[in-house]
């Protein structure tokens, strides 16, 4: 479930470096994807290139031994395989004001609790996977690490960057942030800016769509629902410079009609608020999640994962 109203509450490199990058991004808007161009192009310092040992190539690998790439598209006929991948759903990571609405307080996980939960996951052998890894596992049968888990954050709150990312960076964990495109770089400073989305991506957090305005999609006409789905994806892809085929339904509200519209809009995976950990390749746009609240704590998280195993 996503928060129905805006709120005012408020991996790699070392954690110290990550915090420095984050600090440089907070409070500024705009930006573009050019900051990652050198890394993406694979350029390395001259000294590193010249000191590399000479490698004599071995015999060519038989063509049959080369594994086919798992293309980022849904096949006409969906596979029947399933994978157990608990997907945790967070919203805000911060300290809620006592005067905040009850729903806001319930969706706000204290930073110390979040740190303890992530540390517990790491100690108990859970390994975070990306949306791309889950897609490849479901559609192409690719292997996942033992005890895979996905971390997701709904709505695009700025405190995910300030309070959650330093913990994720220290523990070498990945996550996905589903953002509402109309709220990016808006007047409400509770939400992320475009520049901060680039910072999130450099820290190992994928960006997904939470539609344009966070409207309940089943209540809209086909044209309006498609505009919410496709419009957000277009805006994110234009500003981030790459595909954004990951979706979270506002309020977790969806039905068969909305799933089909999401597919038409180009999404490959869609997460709901339906509880569970078994993800089905036959329903890639209706994946389950486990909701984390302010009252969950480490004990609640452990119980939730034990029940889902």
pLDDT in tens, 245-263: 999 999 999 999 999 999 9
| DSSP result, 153-220 | EEE-BTHIIIIIHHHHHHTT--EEEEE-GGGTTSS-TTB--HHHHHHHHHTTEEEEE--SS---GGGS
| Residue 216 placed within a domain | yes
- pLDDT for 16: 41
Instruction: Please report whether residue 1 resides in a domain.
Output: no
36 part of a folded domain: no
Report if pTM > 0.85.
no
Three-state SS at 287: strand
Q: What is the pLDDT of residue 184?
A: 98
In a domain, 210, yes or no: yes
pLDDT at 67: 56
CA distances from 62 to 58, 59, 111, 180 (A): 12, 9, 51, 47
Total domain count, the chain: 1
**Would you tell me how many other CB atoms lie within 10 Å of the CB of residue 292?**
24
- In-domain check, residue 9: no
CATH value at residue 298: 3.20.20.370
- Quote the pLDDT of residue 72: 95
Sites in the chain below the pLDDT cut of 50: 1-59, 61-66
Per-residue pLDDT tens digits for 78-88: 999 999 999 99
Decide if 291 contacts 273 (C-beta within 8 A): yes
Query: Is 153 a domain residue?
Result: yes
| 225 falls within a domain | yes
Q: Residue 164 belongs to what domain range? A: 85-308
Residue 59, domain member (yes or no): no
- Do residues 21 and 201 lie in contact, with contact meaning Cβ atoms separated by under 8 Å? no
């Amino acid at each position: 479930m996503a928060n129905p109203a805006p709120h005012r509450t408020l991996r790699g490199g070392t954690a110290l470096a990550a915090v420095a990058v984050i600090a440089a991004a907070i409070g500024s808007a705009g930006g573009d994807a050019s900051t990652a161009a050198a890394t993406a192009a694979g350029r390395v310092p001259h000294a590193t290139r010249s000191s590399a040992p000479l490698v004599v190539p071995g015999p060519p690998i038989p063509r049959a031994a080369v594994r086919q790439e798992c293309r980022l598209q849904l096949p006409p006929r969906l596979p029947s395989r399933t994978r157990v991948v608990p997907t945790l759903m967070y919203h805000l990571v911060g300290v809620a004001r006592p005067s905040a609405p009850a729903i806001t307080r319930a969706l706000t996980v204290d930073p110390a609790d979040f740190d303890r939960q992530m540390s517990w996951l790491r100690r108990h052998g859970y390994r975070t996977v990306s949306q791309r890894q889950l897609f490849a596992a479901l559609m192409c049968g690719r292997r996942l690490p033992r005890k895979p888990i996905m971390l997701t954050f709904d709505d695009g709150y700025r405190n995910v960057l300030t309070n959650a990312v330093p913990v994720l960076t220290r523990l070498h964990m990945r996550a996905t942030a589903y953002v509402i495109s109309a709220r990016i770089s808006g007047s409400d400073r509770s939400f992320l800016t475009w520049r901060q989305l680039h910072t999130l991506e450099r820290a190992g957090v994928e960006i997904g769509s939470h539609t344009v305005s966070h409207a309940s999609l089943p209540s809209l006409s086909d044209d309006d629902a498609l505009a919410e789905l496709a419009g957000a994806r277009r805006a994110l892809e234009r500003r981030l410079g790459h595909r954004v085929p990951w979706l979270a339904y506002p309020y977790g509200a969806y039905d068969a009609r909305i799933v089909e519209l999401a597919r038409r809009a180009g999404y490959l995976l869609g997460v709901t608020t339906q509880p569970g950990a078994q993800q089905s390749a036959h329903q890639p746009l209706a994946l389950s999640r486990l909701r984390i609240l302010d009252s969950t704590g480490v004990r609640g998280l452990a119980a939730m994962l034990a029940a889902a195993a």
